[in-house]
A and B are shown apart, each in its own frame.
Chain A
């Protein structure tokens, strides 16, 4: 499979649940990202990983916990979320960190998250 793959595509969770989002990229890229997309709002950068090291945490609440075990995989662990966290969560990758190199960004299809 090519590109950036995200699972699950849809997730409904209660405020006390713990769940994880998974992202895998098959592009041989070194940088991976989590973005949040809410209706009628610009994409919000959450986390950046470059060569497995976190290089950006954009003031994201601690109820979102990223994990990057290698350059191809990225996880977002979720716990005690709030209803306002309901959104489309997008994973992306680039050859190197776009914040240093102007690389092109490639997105997965996203996980549509609903918090009840």
Chain B
């Protein structure tokens, strides 16, 4: 079993839709959870960084962590064509260790 599972998509939605991106994980030691956005032919850029369980909001983006279910989500409200990218989840333990990435979900927002 992979430590982090992420549906690779592709996911296609109309402009204005609410998008839900998800990752599941198996290692209960993970405490820090990240979402990276990667545009085509670019490196990943850090989008959201959260600690432990709960929600964090930044503009149209909300990151949610449910440690009891080992499940994290990224919600995008009022999605825009400029949100079209690959979204990578990543996580690491409280004492550091390996930063583990999901394989990424490719999102396409159609005008």
Contacts and interface: CB of A to CB of B under 8 A. Distances in A.
Interface string B74-108: 00000000000000101010111111111110000
Interface string A36-51: 0000111101000000
Given A42-B101, A42-B103, A104 B92 contact: no
B46 A97 contact: no
B60 interface: no
B101 to A, nearest CB: 4
Interface in B33-68: 34, 36, 41-46, 49
Contacts of A9: 41
Interface string A79-110: 00000000000101000011111101111111
Interface residues of A, number: 24
B96 A101 contact: yes
Contacts of B104: 40, 42
